[in-house]
Amino acid sequence: MADSSMFIVPQTIGYILCCKCGIPIAPNGANMCTPCLQSEEDITEGLRKRATVIYCPKCDMYLGPQDKMVKAPLESKELLNICLKKLVDLRKVTVVDAAFVWTEPHSKRIKVKLKVQKEVRNGSIKDQAYVVEYVVQDHMCKNCSRVQANPDMWVAAVQLRQHVSHRRTLFYLEQIILKHDAAVRAINIKPMNQGIDFFFDNRSHAMNFVNFLGNVAPLKNRHDKQLVSRDSHSNTYNYRYTFSVEICPICREDLICLPPKVAANLGNLGPLVICTKVAKRIALLDPFTLRNCFLSADLYWRAPFKPMFTSRQLVKYIVLDVEPVSYEINVGATQYKLADVQVARESDFGRNDNIFYVRTHLGNILKAGDFALGYDIGVAYSNDIELERYRNFHLPDAILIQKIRGELGKNEPHSTNASSSHLPSEYQEFLIDLEDNPELRFNISLSGNTECHPSESTSNGGNVPCLPLEELLEDLDLSEEEDGEDCMKE
Protein backbone atom coordinates (compact mmCIF):
# COMPACT_ATOMS: atom_id res chain seq x y z
CA MET A 1 0.00 0.00 0.00
CA ALA A 2 1.53 3.22 -1.16
CA ASP A 3 1.97 5.91 1.34
CA SER A 4 0.34 9.02 -0.05
CA SER A 5 2.09 11.14 2.50
CA MET A 6 5.56 10.27 1.12
CA PHE A 7 7.71 13.37 0.61
CA ILE A 8 8.73 13.93 -3.07
CA VAL A 9 11.80 16.02 -3.71
CA PRO A 10 11.17 18.49 -6.62
CA GLN A 11 13.61 18.30 -9.48
CA THR A 12 15.32 21.53 -10.40
CA ILE A 13 16.85 22.36 -13.78
CA GLY A 14 20.41 23.50 -13.65
CA TYR A 15 21.32 26.79 -15.29
CA ILE A 16 24.64 27.99 -16.57
CA LEU A 17 25.92 31.43 -17.41
CA CYS A 18 26.28 32.55 -21.02
CA CYS A 19 29.94 32.71 -21.93
CA LYS A 20 29.39 36.00 -23.81
CA CYS A 21 26.99 38.10 -21.76
CA GLY A 22 26.74 36.16 -18.47
CA ILE A 23 22.97 35.76 -18.22
CA PRO A 24 21.64 32.42 -16.86
CA ILE A 25 20.53 30.06 -19.61
CA ALA A 26 19.66 26.41 -20.01
CA PRO A 27 22.68 24.31 -20.91
CA ASN A 28 23.33 23.87 -24.65
CA GLY A 29 26.18 22.79 -26.85
CA ALA A 30 27.45 26.31 -27.50
CA ASN A 31 27.00 27.53 -23.88
CA MET A 32 25.62 30.81 -25.34
CA CYS A 33 22.23 32.49 -25.25
CA THR A 34 20.16 32.87 -28.41
CA PRO A 35 21.00 36.59 -29.06
CA CYS A 36 24.72 35.96 -28.65
CA LEU A 37 24.50 32.84 -30.78
CA GLN A 38 22.84 34.79 -33.59
CA SER A 39 25.46 37.52 -33.38
CA GLU A 40 28.25 34.98 -33.64
CA GLU A 41 26.81 33.12 -36.66
CA ASP A 42 27.03 34.63 -40.18
CA ILE A 43 24.48 32.81 -42.31
CA THR A 44 25.52 34.78 -45.43
CA GLU A 45 28.98 33.25 -45.40
CA GLY A 46 29.50 31.36 -48.63
CA LEU A 47 26.73 33.22 -50.47
CA ARG A 48 27.62 35.24 -53.57
CA LYS A 49 27.85 38.99 -53.08
CA ARG A 50 28.63 39.84 -56.73
CA ALA A 51 27.18 38.58 -60.02
CA THR A 52 26.86 39.55 -63.70
CA VAL A 53 23.77 40.08 -65.85
CA ILE A 54 23.84 40.21 -69.65
CA TYR A 55 22.09 43.17 -71.32
CA CYS A 56 21.46 43.67 -75.04
CA PRO A 57 21.55 47.43 -75.80
CA LYS A 58 20.05 46.91 -79.26
CA CYS A 59 16.73 45.35 -78.20
CA ASP A 60 16.80 46.61 -74.58
CA MET A 61 16.45 43.12 -73.08
CA TYR A 62 18.20 41.05 -70.42
CA LEU A 63 19.35 37.46 -70.68
CA GLY A 64 17.03 35.44 -68.48
CA PRO A 65 16.78 31.78 -67.51
CA GLN A 66 17.08 29.14 -70.24
CA ASP A 67 18.97 31.64 -72.46
CA LYS A 68 15.83 33.63 -73.24
CA MET A 69 15.87 37.39 -73.72
CA VAL A 70 13.38 39.10 -71.40
CA LYS A 71 12.03 42.66 -71.56
CA ALA A 72 12.73 43.96 -68.05
CA PRO A 73 12.74 47.68 -67.16
CA LEU A 74 14.84 48.89 -64.27
CA GLU A 75 13.52 47.98 -60.80
CA SER A 76 10.82 45.75 -62.27
CA LYS A 77 9.63 42.36 -61.09
CA GLU A 78 11.04 40.74 -64.22
CA LEU A 79 14.52 42.15 -63.58
CA LEU A 80 14.36 41.11 -59.92
CA ASN A 81 13.48 37.57 -60.98
CA ILE A 82 16.47 37.49 -63.34
CA CYS A 83 18.79 38.71 -60.59
CA LEU A 84 17.58 36.10 -58.09
CA LYS A 85 17.94 33.29 -60.63
CA LYS A 86 21.63 34.19 -60.91
CA LEU A 87 22.19 33.25 -57.25
CA VAL A 88 22.14 29.46 -57.24
CA ASP A 89 23.48 29.27 -53.66
CA LEU A 90 20.25 30.78 -52.29
CA ARG A 91 18.98 27.23 -52.01
CA LYS A 92 20.96 26.91 -48.77
CA VAL A 93 18.84 29.60 -47.08
CA THR A 94 15.25 30.86 -47.15
CA VAL A 95 14.71 34.21 -48.90
CA VAL A 96 12.35 36.35 -46.83
CA ASP A 97 12.48 39.64 -48.74
CA ALA A 98 14.20 41.15 -51.80
CA ALA A 99 14.24 44.76 -52.97
CA PHE A 100 16.28 47.03 -55.23
CA VAL A 101 18.72 49.59 -53.86
CA TRP A 102 18.76 52.76 -55.98
CA THR A 103 21.80 53.18 -58.22
CA GLU A 104 22.63 55.58 -61.00
CA PRO A 105 21.05 54.18 -64.22
CA HIS A 106 24.26 54.81 -66.20
CA SER A 107 26.56 53.18 -63.64
CA LYS A 108 26.02 49.69 -65.07
CA ARG A 109 25.42 48.47 -61.53
CA ILE A 110 22.32 46.90 -60.01
CA LYS A 111 22.08 46.38 -56.25
CA VAL A 112 19.57 44.06 -54.59
CA LYS A 113 19.05 43.93 -50.83
CA LEU A 114 18.21 40.40 -49.69
CA LYS A 115 16.88 39.26 -46.33
CA VAL A 116 17.53 35.57 -45.73
CA GLN A 117 16.66 33.18 -42.93
CA LYS A 118 18.42 30.04 -41.69
CA GLU A 119 18.44 27.73 -38.68
CA VAL A 120 21.60 28.00 -36.61
CA ARG A 121 22.89 25.98 -33.63
CA ASN A 122 20.52 25.10 -30.82
CA GLY A 123 17.54 25.19 -33.25
CA SER A 124 17.24 28.98 -33.27
CA ILE A 125 16.25 30.87 -36.44
CA LYS A 126 18.36 33.81 -37.56
CA ASP A 127 17.42 36.57 -40.05
CA GLN A 128 20.15 38.54 -41.79
CA ALA A 129 20.18 41.13 -44.60
CA TYR A 130 22.93 41.72 -47.13
CA VAL A 131 23.39 43.46 -50.50
CA VAL A 132 24.28 41.75 -53.78
CA GLU A 133 25.86 43.88 -56.50
CA TYR A 134 25.28 42.97 -60.15
CA VAL A 135 27.47 44.22 -62.99
CA VAL A 136 25.52 44.89 -66.20
CA GLN A 137 27.52 43.60 -69.15
CA ASP A 138 26.53 44.77 -72.64
CA HIS A 139 26.35 41.96 -75.15
CA MET A 140 24.18 41.74 -78.25
CA CYS A 141 21.81 38.80 -78.40
CA LYS A 142 21.82 36.30 -81.25
CA ASN A 143 18.95 37.93 -83.13
CA CYS A 144 20.44 41.41 -82.93
CA SER A 145 23.85 40.11 -83.97
CA ARG A 146 22.36 38.41 -87.00
CA VAL A 147 20.39 41.51 -87.97
CA GLN A 148 23.43 43.73 -87.44
CA ALA A 149 25.46 41.54 -89.76
CA ASN A 150 22.76 41.40 -92.44
CA PRO A 151 19.65 43.63 -92.03
CA ASP A 152 17.81 41.65 -94.73
CA MET A 153 17.81 38.42 -92.69
CA TRP A 154 14.16 38.65 -91.68
CA VAL A 155 11.74 35.77 -91.41
CA ALA A 156 8.34 37.50 -91.55
CA ALA A 157 7.26 40.87 -92.95
CA VAL A 158 4.01 42.77 -92.38
CA GLN A 159 3.14 45.16 -95.22
CA LEU A 160 0.64 47.69 -93.86
CA ARG A 161 -1.10 49.72 -96.56
CA GLN A 162 -3.98 52.20 -96.89
CA HIS A 163 -4.79 53.48 -100.36
CA VAL A 164 -5.77 57.07 -99.60
CA SER A 165 -4.31 60.49 -100.45
CA HIS A 166 -3.30 61.30 -96.86
CA ARG A 167 -1.65 59.59 -93.87
CA ARG A 168 -3.95 60.67 -91.01
CA THR A 169 -5.03 57.13 -90.19
CA LEU A 170 -1.44 55.88 -90.32
CA PHE A 171 -0.34 58.67 -87.96
CA TYR A 172 -3.04 57.68 -85.48
CA LEU A 173 -2.21 53.99 -85.84
CA GLU A 174 1.45 54.78 -85.24
CA GLN A 175 0.62 56.44 -81.92
CA ILE A 176 -1.43 53.42 -80.82
CA ILE A 177 1.45 51.08 -81.71
CA LEU A 178 3.85 53.22 -79.66
CA LYS A 179 1.43 53.35 -76.73
CA HIS A 180 1.11 49.56 -76.48
CA ASP A 181 4.65 48.65 -77.67
CA ALA A 182 3.08 46.45 -80.31
CA ALA A 183 6.10 46.61 -82.64
CA VAL A 184 8.73 46.06 -79.97
CA ARG A 185 9.66 42.70 -81.56
CA ALA A 186 10.25 44.26 -84.99
CA ILE A 187 13.87 44.14 -86.12
CA ASN A 188 13.35 46.81 -88.78
CA ILE A 189 10.67 49.32 -89.79
CA LYS A 190 10.58 51.05 -93.17
CA PRO A 191 8.13 53.78 -94.26
CA MET A 192 6.73 53.04 -97.69
CA ASN A 193 4.39 54.75 -100.13
CA GLN A 194 0.88 54.64 -98.60
CA GLY A 195 2.03 52.47 -95.72
CA ILE A 196 4.73 50.99 -93.49
CA ASP A 197 6.67 47.72 -93.59
CA PHE A 198 7.48 45.85 -90.36
CA PHE A 199 10.09 43.08 -90.34
CA PHE A 200 10.29 40.32 -87.71
CA ASP A 201 12.66 37.44 -87.05
CA ASN A 202 9.85 35.12 -86.01
CA ARG A 203 6.59 34.24 -87.72
CA SER A 204 4.64 34.19 -84.45
CA HIS A 205 5.71 37.78 -83.68
CA ALA A 206 4.35 38.92 -87.04
CA MET A 207 1.07 37.07 -86.48
CA ASN A 208 0.64 38.68 -83.06
CA PHE A 209 1.25 42.09 -84.61
CA VAL A 210 -1.36 41.46 -87.32
CA ASN A 211 -3.86 40.39 -84.65
CA PHE A 212 -3.17 43.62 -82.75
CA LEU A 213 -3.81 45.69 -85.87
CA GLY A 214 -7.09 43.86 -86.42
CA ASN A 215 -8.27 44.98 -82.96
CA VAL A 216 -7.67 48.69 -83.61
CA ALA A 217 -8.51 49.16 -87.31
CA PRO A 218 -10.86 47.63 -89.91
CA LEU A 219 -8.60 45.65 -92.21
CA LYS A 220 -8.19 42.53 -94.26
CA ASN A 221 -5.04 40.47 -94.61
CA ARG A 222 -3.60 37.61 -96.56
CA HIS A 223 -0.28 35.81 -96.17
CA ASP A 224 2.16 34.11 -98.50
CA LYS A 225 5.36 32.18 -97.97
CA GLN A 226 8.50 31.68 -100.04
CA LEU A 227 10.91 28.79 -99.72
CA VAL A 228 14.40 29.98 -98.81
CA SER A 229 16.24 26.71 -98.18
CA ARG A 230 15.64 23.08 -97.34
CA ASP A 231 17.55 20.14 -95.92
CA SER A 232 16.56 16.86 -97.56
CA HIS A 233 18.38 14.77 -94.94
CA SER A 234 16.56 16.20 -91.91
CA ASN A 235 13.45 17.14 -93.90
CA THR A 236 13.48 20.76 -92.67
CA TYR A 237 12.37 23.80 -94.66
CA ASN A 238 13.06 27.49 -94.15
CA TYR A 239 10.43 29.95 -95.37
CA ARG A 240 9.95 33.66 -95.55
CA TYR A 241 6.44 34.80 -94.67
CA THR A 242 4.76 37.95 -95.94
CA PHE A 243 1.55 39.34 -94.43
CA SER A 244 -0.25 41.85 -96.63
CA VAL A 245 -2.52 44.04 -94.48
CA GLU A 246 -4.87 46.56 -96.10
CA ILE A 247 -6.77 49.14 -94.04
CA CYS A 248 -10.13 50.25 -95.38
CA PRO A 249 -9.97 53.63 -97.20
CA ILE A 250 -12.74 55.12 -95.04
CA CYS A 251 -11.35 57.82 -92.74
CA ARG A 252 -12.80 60.16 -90.16
CA GLU A 253 -14.79 63.14 -91.55
CA ASP A 254 -15.33 61.39 -94.91
CA LEU A 255 -18.73 61.75 -96.58
CA ILE A 256 -20.05 58.38 -97.70
CA CYS A 257 -22.91 57.29 -99.90
CA LEU A 258 -23.82 53.84 -98.60
CA PRO A 259 -24.65 51.08 -101.10
CA PRO A 260 -28.30 49.98 -100.88
CA LYS A 261 -27.40 46.55 -99.45
CA VAL A 262 -25.17 48.01 -96.75
CA ALA A 263 -27.77 50.65 -95.88
CA ALA A 264 -30.41 47.93 -95.56
CA ASN A 265 -28.17 45.89 -93.23
CA LEU A 266 -27.77 49.00 -91.06
CA GLY A 267 -31.51 49.60 -90.74
CA ASN A 268 -31.93 51.81 -93.85
CA LEU A 269 -29.36 54.31 -92.63
CA GLY A 270 -28.49 57.27 -94.83
CA PRO A 271 -27.77 57.03 -97.67
CA LEU A 272 -25.50 60.05 -97.01
CA VAL A 273 -23.56 59.52 -93.78
CA ILE A 274 -20.46 60.95 -92.12
CA CYS A 275 -17.68 58.81 -90.70
CA THR A 276 -17.13 60.02 -87.13
CA LYS A 277 -14.63 57.42 -85.90
CA VAL A 278 -12.50 54.61 -87.30
CA ALA A 279 -11.49 51.85 -84.89
CA LYS A 280 -12.19 48.13 -84.98
CA ARG A 281 -15.58 49.23 -86.31
CA ILE A 282 -16.49 52.25 -88.43
CA ALA A 283 -18.83 54.74 -86.72
CA LEU A 284 -21.32 56.31 -89.15
CA LEU A 285 -23.66 59.24 -88.44
CA ASP A 286 -26.62 60.48 -90.45
CA PRO A 287 -26.31 64.31 -90.27
CA PHE A 288 -30.01 64.79 -91.07
CA THR A 289 -31.55 62.45 -88.46
CA LEU A 290 -28.68 61.94 -85.93
CA ARG A 291 -28.96 58.17 -86.33
CA ASN A 292 -25.67 56.37 -85.82
CA CYS A 293 -24.53 52.84 -86.60
CA PHE A 294 -21.33 50.83 -86.44
CA LEU A 295 -20.06 49.04 -89.53
CA SER A 296 -17.90 46.00 -88.78
CA ALA A 297 -14.85 45.13 -90.84
CA ASP A 298 -16.41 41.86 -92.06
CA LEU A 299 -19.51 43.64 -93.31
CA TYR A 300 -17.44 46.29 -95.05
CA TRP A 301 -15.15 43.89 -96.90
CA ARG A 302 -18.13 41.86 -98.12
CA ALA A 303 -19.25 44.89 -100.13
CA PRO A 304 -16.39 47.44 -100.08
CA PHE A 305 -17.04 51.02 -101.11
CA LYS A 306 -15.10 54.27 -101.31
CA PRO A 307 -15.93 57.65 -99.77
CA MET A 308 -17.85 60.16 -101.82
CA PHE A 309 -15.79 63.10 -100.49
CA THR A 310 -12.63 63.11 -98.36
CA SER A 311 -11.21 65.66 -95.96
CA ARG A 312 -9.00 67.06 -98.74
CA GLN A 313 -12.15 68.43 -100.41
CA LEU A 314 -13.41 70.42 -97.43
CA VAL A 315 -14.52 74.00 -98.16
CA LYS A 316 -14.57 76.87 -95.70
CA TYR A 317 -17.96 78.39 -94.88
CA ILE A 318 -19.15 81.36 -92.82
CA VAL A 319 -22.18 80.76 -90.60
CA LEU A 320 -24.77 83.54 -90.95
CA ASP A 321 -27.68 82.24 -88.88
CA VAL A 322 -28.50 79.20 -86.74
CA GLU A 323 -32.00 77.93 -85.92
CA PRO A 324 -32.15 74.86 -83.64
CA VAL A 325 -34.50 72.07 -84.66
CA SER A 326 -34.11 69.41 -81.92
CA TYR A 327 -32.63 68.89 -78.46
CA GLU A 328 -29.07 67.79 -77.85
CA ILE A 329 -28.49 64.07 -78.33
CA ASN A 330 -25.54 62.06 -77.02
CA VAL A 331 -24.01 59.86 -79.68
CA GLY A 332 -21.23 57.94 -77.99
CA ALA A 333 -19.18 60.50 -76.09
CA THR A 334 -20.14 63.43 -78.37
CA GLN A 335 -23.18 65.68 -78.26
CA TYR A 336 -25.02 66.65 -81.42
CA LYS A 337 -28.00 68.86 -82.13
CA LEU A 338 -29.96 69.32 -85.34
CA ALA A 339 -30.20 72.87 -86.64
CA ASP A 340 -31.06 74.73 -89.84
CA VAL A 341 -28.24 77.12 -90.70
CA GLN A 342 -27.53 79.76 -93.31
CA VAL A 343 -24.00 79.59 -94.65
CA ALA A 344 -21.96 81.20 -97.38
CA ARG A 345 -18.67 80.17 -98.91
CA GLU A 346 -15.77 82.23 -97.63
CA SER A 347 -14.49 82.63 -101.19
CA ASP A 348 -17.86 84.12 -102.22
CA PHE A 349 -18.33 86.27 -99.14
CA GLY A 350 -18.45 89.91 -100.26
CA ARG A 351 -18.43 88.99 -103.96
CA ASN A 352 -21.93 87.63 -104.49
CA ASP A 353 -25.09 86.86 -102.56
CA ASN A 354 -24.94 83.05 -102.71
CA ILE A 355 -26.43 81.78 -99.44
CA PHE A 356 -27.17 78.14 -98.69
CA TYR A 357 -29.82 76.83 -96.31
CA VAL A 358 -28.69 73.46 -94.97
CA ARG A 359 -29.42 71.19 -92.04
CA THR A 360 -26.50 70.19 -89.85
CA HIS A 361 -25.75 68.08 -86.79
CA LEU A 362 -23.50 70.80 -85.30
CA GLY A 363 -26.30 72.95 -83.93
CA ASN A 364 -24.95 72.74 -80.38
CA ILE A 365 -21.61 74.40 -81.19
CA LEU A 366 -22.34 76.68 -84.16
CA LYS A 367 -23.43 80.28 -83.86
CA ALA A 368 -23.59 83.25 -86.19
CA GLY A 369 -20.14 84.45 -87.21
CA ASP A 370 -18.39 81.10 -86.81
CA PHE A 371 -16.33 79.40 -89.48
CA ALA A 372 -16.99 75.80 -90.47
CA LEU A 373 -15.64 73.23 -92.89
CA GLY A 374 -17.98 71.32 -95.14
CA TYR A 375 -18.43 69.68 -98.50
CA ASP A 376 -19.73 71.81 -101.38
CA ILE A 377 -21.89 69.15 -102.95
CA GLY A 378 -23.59 71.53 -105.37
CA VAL A 379 -20.33 72.50 -107.10
CA ALA A 380 -17.98 69.57 -106.50
CA TYR A 381 -17.99 66.82 -109.10
CA SER A 382 -18.59 63.33 -107.83
CA ASN A 383 -18.71 60.18 -109.94
CA ASP A 384 -19.93 58.00 -107.10
CA ILE A 385 -21.61 54.94 -108.59
CA GLU A 386 -23.68 54.29 -105.46
CA LEU A 387 -25.29 57.73 -105.69
CA GLU A 388 -26.79 56.90 -109.07
CA ARG A 389 -28.81 54.07 -107.50
CA TYR A 390 -30.79 56.58 -105.40
CA ARG A 391 -32.80 58.30 -108.11
CA ASN A 392 -35.33 60.05 -105.87
CA PHE A 393 -32.79 61.26 -103.31
CA HIS A 394 -32.31 65.04 -103.19
CA LEU A 395 -28.75 66.14 -102.56
CA PRO A 396 -28.25 69.15 -100.27
CA ASP A 397 -26.16 72.11 -101.39
CA ALA A 398 -23.62 71.57 -98.60
CA ILE A 399 -22.93 69.36 -95.59
CA LEU A 400 -21.02 70.84 -92.67
CA ILE A 401 -18.45 68.58 -91.03
CA GLN A 402 -16.71 70.51 -88.27
CA LYS A 403 -16.38 73.92 -86.69
CA ILE A 404 -13.12 75.80 -87.12
CA ARG A 405 -11.80 76.88 -83.76
CA GLY A 406 -10.23 80.23 -82.90
CA GLU A 407 -8.92 82.31 -85.76
CA LEU A 408 -8.12 79.44 -88.08
CA GLY A 409 -10.74 80.56 -90.53
CA LYS A 410 -9.43 84.11 -90.76
CA ASN A 411 -5.78 83.82 -91.71
CA GLU A 412 -4.13 80.40 -92.01
CA PRO A 413 -5.51 76.92 -92.54
CA HIS A 414 -3.86 75.88 -89.30
CA SER A 415 -1.90 77.76 -86.66
CA THR A 416 0.88 76.00 -84.80
CA ASN A 417 3.61 77.05 -82.44
CA ALA A 418 7.26 77.48 -83.30
CA SER A 419 8.30 74.18 -81.73
CA SER A 420 6.27 72.19 -84.27
CA SER A 421 6.99 74.39 -87.30
CA HIS A 422 9.58 71.88 -88.57
CA LEU A 423 6.96 69.11 -88.81
CA PRO A 424 5.15 68.38 -92.08
CA SER A 425 1.86 70.22 -92.48
CA GLU A 426 -0.05 66.93 -92.67
CA TYR A 427 1.34 65.86 -89.29
CA GLN A 428 0.56 69.29 -87.82
CA GLU A 429 -3.06 68.84 -88.87
CA PHE A 430 -3.08 65.46 -87.14
CA LEU A 431 -1.75 66.98 -83.89
CA ILE A 432 -4.44 69.68 -83.99
CA ASP A 433 -7.09 66.99 -84.53
CA LEU A 434 -5.85 65.32 -81.33
CA GLU A 435 -6.39 68.56 -79.41
CA ASP A 436 -9.89 69.00 -80.81
CA ASN A 437 -11.11 65.43 -80.26
CA PRO A 438 -10.77 63.84 -76.80
CA GLU A 439 -11.91 60.48 -78.21
CA LEU A 440 -8.81 60.30 -80.41
CA ARG A 441 -6.57 60.78 -77.37
CA PHE A 442 -8.13 57.86 -75.49
CA ASN A 443 -5.81 55.14 -76.81
CA ILE A 444 -2.60 57.15 -77.18
CA SER A 445 -0.14 58.79 -74.81
CA LEU A 446 0.71 62.46 -75.25
CA SER A 447 3.11 62.80 -72.31
CA GLY A 448 5.79 60.73 -74.04
CA ASN A 449 5.35 62.38 -77.44
CA THR A 450 7.89 65.19 -77.70
CA GLU A 451 6.45 66.38 -80.99
CA CYS A 452 2.94 66.90 -79.67
CA HIS A 453 2.59 70.44 -78.32
CA PRO A 454 -0.61 72.38 -77.70
CA SER A 455 -1.13 75.01 -80.35
CA GLU A 456 -0.85 78.70 -79.55
CA SER A 457 -3.77 80.45 -77.93
CA THR A 458 -5.73 82.91 -79.99
CA SER A 459 -7.70 85.97 -79.06
CA ASN A 460 -10.92 83.97 -78.99
CA GLY A 461 -9.82 81.96 -75.97
CA GLY A 462 -13.24 80.48 -75.26
CA ASN A 463 -13.26 78.52 -78.52
CA VAL A 464 -9.76 77.12 -78.23
CA PRO A 465 -9.70 73.61 -76.76
CA CYS A 466 -6.59 72.82 -74.75
CA LEU A 467 -5.30 69.50 -73.53
CA PRO A 468 -6.40 68.74 -69.97
CA LEU A 469 -3.54 68.65 -67.49
CA GLU A 470 -4.60 65.25 -66.14
CA GLU A 471 -4.21 63.72 -69.63
CA LEU A 472 -0.68 65.07 -70.01
CA LEU A 473 0.28 63.83 -66.51
CA GLU A 474 -1.51 60.47 -66.80
CA ASP A 475 1.61 58.41 -67.55
CA LEU A 476 4.08 60.62 -65.67
CA ASP A 477 6.18 58.70 -63.15
CA LEU A 478 8.39 60.55 -60.68
CA SER A 479 9.34 57.58 -58.54
CA GLU A 480 12.91 57.45 -59.83
CA GLU A 481 13.49 61.16 -59.23
CA GLU A 482 11.99 60.92 -55.75
CA ASP A 483 14.28 58.02 -54.88
CA GLY A 484 17.22 60.01 -56.14
CA GLU A 485 16.30 62.97 -53.93
CA ASP A 486 16.01 60.70 -50.89
CA CYS A 487 19.45 59.29 -51.54
CA MET A 488 20.90 62.78 -51.81
CA LYS A 489 19.30 63.77 -48.52
CA GLU A 490 20.89 60.81 -46.82
Domain ranges of the chain: 14-43, 47-142, 150-247, 255-404
Q: What is the pLDDT of residue 156?
A: 92
Sequence-distant (6+) residues with CB within 8 A of 145 are: none
At residue 418, the pLDDT reads: 41
Strands 329-331 and 398-404: unpaired
pLDDT at 151: 67
Chunk the chain into consecutive blocks of 10 residues (it has 490) and report each block's average pLDDT, rounded to whole numbers: 64 80 81 77 87 91 89 92 91 91 92 90 79 94 79 86 85 88 87 90 92 92 90 87 93 89 87 89 90 91 89 90 84 81 85 86 89 85 67 83 68 42 66 70 57 45 50 54 43
pLDDT for 350: 74
At residue 446, the pLDDT reads 57
Residues 6+ apart with CB under 8 A from 49: 130, 131, 132, 133
CA-to-CA separations, 445 to 209, 418, 422, 448, in angstroms, rounded:
19, 22, 21, 6
Please name every residue paired with 340 in a beta bridge, in sequence order, or none if there are none.
323, 359
Whole-structure pTM value = 0.67
Q: Going by DSSP bridges, is the β-strand pair 94-101/109-119 parallel, antiparallel, or unpaired?
A: antiparallel
Q: Does domain 47-142 have CATH number 1.10.357?
A: no
